[in-house]
Amino acid sequence: MNILIVFDHPRRDGSFCGAVVDHLQEGLSAAGHTSEVADLRAEGFDPRLPVADEPDWDDPAKVYSSEVLREQARVMRAEALAFVFPVWWWSFPATTKGWIDRVWNHGWAYGSRKLPHKKALLIGTASSDAEAYAKRGYDTAMQTQLVTGIMQYCGIPEARLELLYDVMAGAEVRDQQLARVRALGASYF
């Protein structure tokens, strides 16, 4: 199976999120899968929604900008999707949100047509611990927004949110999280 990994962090090298991508790819490869990384920041993806990419509710067959068409083709080459991102304000960073806003457009990912993918894995890194997320309901809110409100709404029936909590706690915690990510890559898809 070919998995598109949508990565959003200012730095791939030297960041924990970058290490998550590497370990996810290791797990995928060990299970016989292939992967492609869409590094939104490094590739210079513009998350702003121009008029050319604004949904046309009366025309689900609208042709969008060449940048969006390229991204849509990349999504369609994949059989499943993964997202790796730092949790900022209890959600994706703005670049990922803008990528979804522009690329997963009306008539292509929702509306009269849905995405054909059966699985998506969302991996968010969090500096807080699980108790803080549960206490305030952030974990439930993210599950509702990202899994139900985006992935399932766009036709992906099996979507899973994995939050890697407390990643600032030190090397031992990060090593455990990376082993967990590698195992997810080997078993989820």
**Residue 112 pLDDT level (bands cut at 50, 70, 90):** confident
- Identify whether the C-beta of residue 119 lies closer than 8 Å to the C-beta of residue 189: yes
pLDDT above 70 coverage of the chain, percent? 100
Q: How far apart are CA 82 and CA 1, in angstroms?
A: 12
Joined together, the tokens standing for residue 124 give 């968010």
List, as one string, the DSSP characters of 65-130. -HHHHHHHHHHHH-SEEEEEEE-BTTB--HHHHHHHHHHS-BTTTBSS------EEEEEEE-SS-H
**Residue 12 pLDDT level (bands cut at 50, 70, 90):** confident
Joined together, the tokens standing for residue 155 give 């036709």
**Residue 41 pLDDT level (bands cut at 50, 70, 90):** very high
pLDDT digits (tens, 9 = 90+) for 114-151: 999 999 999 999 999 999 999 999 999 999 999 999 99
Cross-sheet strand order for the sheet of 80-86 = 34-39, 2-7, 80-86, 119-125, 158-164
Is 0.75 surpassed by the pTM of this model? yes
Q: How far apart are CA 173 and CA 178, in angstroms?
A: 9
Going along the chain from its start, the domains and CATH numbers come out as 2-187 (3.40.50.360)
